[in-house]
A and B are shown apart, each in its own frame.
Chain A
Amino acid sequence: MTATALLPPRSFQEIILRLQSYWAAQGCAILQPYDMEVGAGTFHPATTLRSLGTKPWAAAYVQPSRRPTDGRYGENPNRLQHYYQYQVIIKPSPPNLQELYLGSLKAIGLDPTLHDIRFVEDDWESPTLGAWGLGWEIWCDGMEVSQFTYFQQVGGHDCRPVSGELTYGLERLAMYVLGIDHVMTMPFNDPQSPIALTYGDIFLQTEEEYSRHNFDGADTAQLLRHFEDAEAECQRLLDFPPDDPKSGKRIIMAHPAYDQTIKASHLFNLLDARGVISVTERQAYIGRVRALAKKCADAFRLTEAGKDAVETSTGVTP
């Protein structure tokens, strides 16, 4: 641990940077956010798709996440329709994952000898991804600061080996570490900077704009059409024969198809926020997205990155 880690962080971005360097030091590939609208870091193909198959994997990234129904026009102290998650995914889950996680808390200034850190049962399930796992929410002094999950199934496929997934709700965690009561007043960069910016300086206006958009602005007829389009497109891409005549290679378009799943999922969230989906229809929509996610998972399992390594008689992976 470097000396700076012992000093408390002073800004939102410093917490992110410390998590980045901590997980980089643990050997994770530090990825960038996925360039699509998603509801949570789990949707990033680096988690959903890469948790399938036997190939070892270790990645960490920040993922901007959108939950249209959570929009509060920037007025609620900790509810946002756009926020950041920090995501760590390691396959197979290492035996010391809990210790690694606790190390990351230390790195951002939560010293377990001063705080009360607890692992409280919380099973995770994503009906839209056809995924579930067991684990905990992690409490720091009674506050939920992360989600810790051992993936058991994704896209309807058993996870073998099992991936360990950590998700930090960055705003909430940072507000706790920095002692901030309203997210909009949280220093984004160093408050001593010549141009000091708060979270509100950057996001208050967008929260207002998107809240209005999510609740009133979005064109529901168009959203419905887009949903249907994404669903059809996903299927169309998966229906291509695997052999590509141009390159002469076998190319299954699992990722482009999965992009359409992500799209459908976000469109469903927007429709939900607009209040045009009834309780009974809701289940049907979730089922349609799940069907897409499963098909993409099936396709990914046939690709190089997603297939099971074939063990030879000597046990060495070729």
Chain B
Amino acid sequence: MPDLLIELFSEEIPARMQAKAREDLKKLVTDGLVEAGLTYASAGVFSTPRRLTLSIDGLSPESRPVREERKGPRADAPPAALEGFLRSTGLTLDQLERREDKKGGVTLFAILEKPGRKAPEIIAEVLESTIRTFPWPKSMRWGSGSLRWVRPLHSILCILVDEAGVQIIPLSVDGIRSTNTTEGHRFLSPNRFPVTSFDDYAIKLKRAHVVLDSAEREAAIWQGAQNLAFAAGWHVVEDKALLTEVAGLVEWPVPLMGRIGEEFLHLPPEVLQTSMREHQKFFSVKNPRTGRIEGFITVANTETADHGATILKGNQKVLSARLSDARFFWEKDLRVAREGMTEWLDGLKAVTFHNKLGSQHARIERIATLAQQIAHLVDADPALAKQAAEVAKADLRSAMVGEFPELQGLMGKYYAKAAGLPEAVANAARDHYSPLGPTDTVPSDPVSVAVALADKIDTLTGFWAIDEKPTGSKDPFALRRAALGVIRLVLNNKLRIDLRAIRISADAAFPESIMSGEQVAEGSKPGDDSLLSFFHDRLKVFLKDQGIRHDLIDACLAMPGNDDLTLLVKRADALAAFLKTEDGPNLLQGFKRANTILSQAEQKDGVEYSYGADIKFAETPEERDLFLKLDMAEATIAPAVANEDFNAAMWAMSALRAPIDAFFNAVQINTDNAIVRRNRLNLLHRIRAICGGVADLTKIEG
């Protein structure tokens, strides 16, 4: 079976686009080949800054011939129908087959024979179409051509290798003709050379100072960096995203280590790290004896006669200039912080948060009021919560955050400390943006929790009030993230919060003009539950990721107190655990049977059978046993539900499975005896009521 090797060689591909480009290339080409009737054993895909490479092993040399039979209209069909069929099949009338059908008429059939095609022909077609339709996030034209690629495409290597030898698959895209050659490293081995197979290609590339596999480059960088650090008794701070990015910037990685100037070591480690990573793509190196970041690793793309001395010196110089800026910002900010940050707080009055929702300053005042109000719900000191909310966003005006927006919050902590504010206030400045996603850390310090909740609830109620709700894929104000943040804050800290009540407090903080003016959207009037539904939707998504089905959540949402998320999840957890036991699904079936029979009877008779069944009308031992077991279960379930011990309640319910099954096996509900029938229906009602103590089981699917 032949092997296929494709390389698309271009000017430098942005590092962040390489991973997806690899997957796209593999998918587009292999899908195209398979669709055209070829098969293959395996495919590997690689990228460097200048090339995308696909290697396919065990490709079939040609596609199988395909015979397709297509049924057409009847022979006596109107001419238009016949013409349409001929057009779609590309055949003439006399090429169609006539077959008698069961009704005695004649139906026309087209027999389409597609002969097998040679692999090279298919490959050329598939590759050309792949190149022309490649889904780069941004692409461009160059020179006088009309082809689009991420950056100018220079050459296409496309060879098919089998026992007979190497064959160039001929193809030409916008004047670029396929060859069997490629180039090595831009500076170290700039010559073009031919290759005869994937192995030959990979080996020759390495000789030409190109490590083809990004995983191998990552490993080499990480290993080299660690070796350098160990030799100095230091260690490299892990940064997977940076490692991937740097591996996408080099073909021949050469890590070099340098020292950060003494005059910068007092800067917060996050500042050093961010400045080095964002501007220079340096790894940070920590000195375990001092606990500080004292060094950096830069990864060059070349080897030099002076072993990188010039390169390192240059990088060091650039770093010093950058860190001088950072130090300047830090010192300037500290002066403002020590004076109580008033300059920044005043400055926030001039910063618009949203033109309908007012300035950042107005927003902070609302958050502070809300944080103070909800403090008791999270065991926080109300005064501290208010104070924390007032300063938590001051750092947005600092020079450092102006330069490195990703340090917001963190700088707030440093500056709050410098201002002499309590530890809890400083921590809240750092943590109040959290959690920012489904996995990052959730604050647990009560003051931080109060401010974090207030921040997110203010955002949600505000944008709800001006009708800027997320729609489809559009969520420009990250409201889904804010709602998820509230959910995770509540659940992780096991908070018992009535979201409806908080919403009302939060709404109250907005000026009349927003809350009662004409711009108030239909869905945000008091009493409206669309925001609560939004929370419930996000909760479903969140719990689904944790393996809890959406119908179980619906079953719990139907219960009272559904704006208390902790209660809701307690119910859902117990329900999910219960349904995993053997008794669970069976009880559910019994319940559903009881419910169906009861509902039908209620509908038919136009009454509600909730009168209370009486054991004296019971006719069979199974029936009497069910009465007994229901009494016992009820005695356990009611207090368990009252104590929110839903597991115990469900466990007690599971004891009902056997008696319910036995009951249904032994008796017929709809007997001729009206009294017995009514009594049995009333008994079914008891089953429904008792089994509905934790969740509305009718909502559960299956």
Residues of chain A whose beta carbon lies under 8 Å from any beta carbon of chain B: 77-78, 92-95, 98, 112-121, 123, 133-136, 140-143, 150, 152, 159-162, 164, 176, 279-280
Contacts and interface: CB of A to CB of B under 8 A. Distances in A.
29 contacts: A78-B321, A94-B143, A95-B143, A113-B305, A114-B305, A115-B310, A116-B302, A123-B138, A134-B138, A134-B139, A134-B140, A135-B151, A141-B310, A141-B311, A141-B314, A141-B317, A141-B318, A142-B280, A142-B314, A142-B319, A150-B141, A150-B152, A152-B140, A160-B141, A161-B144, A161-B145, A162-B142, A162-B144, A280-B355
Given A119-B12, A141-B314, A143-B314, 4 more contacts: A77-B321, A98-B11, A118-B12, A141-B317
Main secondary structure of the interface of B (DSSP, over half): loop
A119 B187 CA distance: 13
B144 A92 contact: yes
A135 to B, nearest CB: 8
A279 B352 contact: yes
Given A77-B321, A121-B15, A115 B314 contact: yes
Contacts of B139: 134
Contacts of A133: 140
Nearest to B313: A141
B244 to A, nearest CB: 14
Given A136-B12, A161-B143, A176 B301 contact: no
A123 B321 CA distance: 24
A150 B143 CA distance: 9
Nearest to A152: B140
B315 interface: yes
A38 to B, nearest CB: 25
A114 B310 contact: yes
A112 B12 CA distance: 16
A114 B304 contact: yes
Interface residues of B, number: 43
Given A113-B187, A115-B314, A142-B280, A152 B16 contact: no
A140 B298 CA distance: 13
A162 B141 CA distance: 7
Given A114-B310, A141-B314, A162-B142, A280 B305 contact: no
Interface string B10-32: 01101110000000000000000
B515 to A, nearest CB: 24
A8 B140 CA distance: 37
B306 interface: yes
Contacts of B140: 133-134, 150, 152, 162
Given A115-B311, A280-B352, A150 B142 contact: yes
A52 to B, nearest CB: 15
A141 B280 CA distance: 10
A257 to B, nearest CB: 28
B446 interface: no
Contacts of B306: 114
Contacts of A77: 321
Nearest to B351: A279
Contacts of A162: 140-144
B187 A152 contact: no
B152 A95 contact: yes
Closest 4 CB pairs of A and B: A141-B314, A121-B14, A119-B12, A142-B315
Contacts of B280: 142
A183 B460 CA distance: 50
A116 B314 CA distance: 9
B154 interface: yes
A116 B144 CA distance: 31
Interface in B145-190: 145, 150-152, 154, 186-187
Interface string B425-454: 000000000000000000000000000000
B392 interface: no
Interface string B282-319: 10000000000000001011101110101101110111
Contacts of A112: 186-187, 302
